Structure 1
């Protein structure tokens, strides 16, 4: 079996970001990456990171710089279809926008009016409100104020659809519309969208609608919508985390729905209770619902990897019952969506595990274990970043926690596939600096893959 190989071999810290994008071009010989010298603090409004790609020999080609980045999700750099072009976010004329680069000429070829989160092969990009995302504690960019900070559910903030080549654009869905969809819009505050993701056919989007609650918590709704803005659906509501499209009609997500906490938050009693009493009630429910597990961690048995069909009022099945029992960062293989790459959060010893999961056989294959480092960020240097975060968020998470989780020291593996399914790339800090690594999974998949007539339907009902 192959071991992980270092892909970024130059000086500095390298990272890609999230687990929801293919990092390699179609030819498989260029890997998008970002580079920065100091990763000990969250991104500073005045500090850029380098944009470029890594060749097979490990050489990094710098094509530009960007202010629009964070460590968990990078700058949303991604290839445009099968071309040599890629798109990346940046700050231009005091706005979050996108730039297009040609990896052959190594030049910027266009500057677009709007930022990009995901893009179709034919050039339709979909962007989010990154100033709002940053203020509410999400994966936004530091340096620009939330223009709608006084509006709990703004009608001018949402999903912007724009075309890379024709520059056509349209707001296809607003925060206000979603906050009023199948729920009381006055229930929460600071409504926002995050984690926007295209299905394989690129005709639907899944995203998370989140809003703050008066007990200091947050509710998440898993939403889907057609790429033209029609057909909005809410698939689930509760404590929901990382997800990916299993196929064109199913979304796999880690979370918990219908718990005592969720029922309390939806009740008339909750709406009438004073904030202090609500917080005490939530803490009591947590003590009753959570049970200790080995190593001192606490696990709620109501949490699972859930599989939802994209239909009205779907009933979830279990994706990997008894096989994957914790949250992680999943990505299904573009070449064979029977396979999923994923990781774990650090265990009690600071170890993250990288693993493959085969849906048809319900088997997990651990690939490697990578240790986090003990270093902590400089709080004083982190303050320019934290100034733009909502006070309620800092009260819930503390400046120290926010500084660490938004710095380069907090390095989730965030594995992502090569388009042909032969290799995965991941970020790691186990060797003391942040680097991009690759893992050849060809032997595992070719050995373990079943023929289609041997595969069984393995949905487990809740």
Structure 2
């Protein structure tokens, strides 16, 4: 693993919680702490790794960081995976502390995707209600969520899918009745705002003709006025080197679709004699054509790991003009899961495991000084594989004085909080 042009500055770290059970959260782009910084969301399971079938139960709850890290379970779910958990997140725009997470539709709650729905839990009152679609991401103002088909992930990107209750549904390549739904958080009413057929027909390229299509990496900007997503397609779902990508933004009513980047390219891996088993677990994450992990820096700028004009870097796009600039060209040289501090100065990210040492770096990059700090290095068990792996997935606290991550460096799947205030000056 390269640490060229990086300053070693390891920060104080502590594990959240204790005991023999395993804790994890999942993806890097969700709000873990509530707005007070006291309550800390987490799933809890009895095993560190297991191939999931849709029957495994995960507890849903939160730690009270001001009461000895006491864990408060609020429910259970069978709609989860090791990478994204159950899309657990706070409804930050609500006056009461409320939590939303995905759950299985066992009593007919699921309307668009019959197997799946979501649950809203009010921490103040203990009340619970169901919404008819599973969520991917909730707007910061908590008025709407963007929803996708987790059964489609079971075919195209199993790492982040949910198994069906009974039989996996048939999936047309680019249907007119599947894509991105916007769901009202209060009423549960929903609308398909862009279909996979719409995307297939928008500035099409020949590689789309025989491919299956899907959307992923949906993110809503801070004012809830616009969102981004990745459109992917492939003829060979079993090999990620055959995935093709486009980065889009649009309004939540489905208007003003903008294409920021397209990485359509030749695919030698489609040859019949190609051996995908010759590739390492994380080789694709280091591909020169990968578009991954886009997030908003603010309402008008998007950062992503991806290629632009023939060169792959962390690129920051102007949503209005499509122009892109490189971030950290000499020191941010690997794909990672990145988010900005609220003031936009610090970029938090991580790396994938080194092929030889199986170590990952936790990174803070100072965009003003142009300096990368490695604030921690953590071992991961290579035997976890791709679907059951544990990426660090770092996330900011509300005041940006701390960051948290998931890790298995202590041979358990656990949560950790790292104090960064000395480095970032908060």
- From the superposition, tell whether residues 416 and 38 of structure 1 become closer, same or farther in structure 2 (CA, over 3 Å): same
Which residue is 1:317 aligned to?
Answer: 325
Query: Between Structure 1 and Structure 2, how many residues are aligned?
Result: 372
Pairwise CA distance, 1:148: 4.6
1:64 matches 2:64? no
1:437 matches 2:416? yes
Which residue is 2:123 aligned to?
Answer: 103
Cα-Cα RMSD: 1.9
Say which structure is richer in helix.
1
Pairwise CA distance, 1:257: 4.4
Pairwise CA distance, 1:427: 0.2
Q: Distance in 2 between matches of 1:177 and 1:6?
A: 46
- From 214, 223, 238, give the equivalent of 1:192: 214
Which residue is 2:35 aligned to?
Answer: 26
Map 1:27-426 to 2 at 5 A: 27-56=36-65, 57-82=68-93, 83-93=96-106, 94-105=114-125, 107-120=126-139, 121-138=141-158, 139-144=160-165, 147-149=169-171, 151-184=172-205, 186-213=208-235, 217-238=242-263, 239=289, 240-257=291-308, 259=310, 302-311=311-320, 314-333=322-341, 335-347=342-354, 348-374=356-382, 376=383, 404-407=385-388, 410-426=389-405
Mapped contact 1:148–1:154 kept (Cα < 8 A): no
SS in 2 for 1:424: strand
- Give TM-score, length-normalised by structure 2: 0.83
Which ranges of structure 1 fall in alignment gaps of 5 or more residues? 260-301, 378-403, 448-462
SS in 2 for 1:326: coil
Q: Distance in 2 between matches of 1:188 and 1:250?
A: 33
SS in 2 for 1:444: helix
Q: Distance in 1 between matches of 2:51 and 2:37?
A: 31
Runs of 4+ in 1 over 6 A off after TM superposition: none
Q: Distance in 2 between matches of 1:214 and 1:68?
A: 26
Mapped contact 1:10–1:58 kept (Cα < 8 A): no
Which residue is 1:10 aligned to?
Answer: 19
Q: Distance in 2 between matches of 1:98 and 1:242?
A: 24
Pairwise CA distance, 1:316: 2.1
Pairwise CA distance, 1:61: 1.1
Deviations 1:156-203 (Å, cap 9, x if unpaired)?
111111112122221111111111111147434110001110112211
Pairwise CA distance, 1:214: 6.1
Which ranges of structure 2 fall in alignment gaps of 5 or more residues? 1-9, 107-113, 264-288
Mapped contact 1:339–1:359 kept (Cα < 8 A): yes
Deviations 1:3-61 (Å, cap 9, x if unpaired)?
11111323311101011111000111111110111232232221111100011122211
SS in 1 for 2:50: coil
Pairwise CA distance, 1:258: 5.4
Mapped contact 2:406–2:415 kept (Cα < 8 A): yes
- Give TM-score, length-normalised by structure 1: 0.77
Mapped contact 1:99–1:108 kept (Cα < 8 A): no
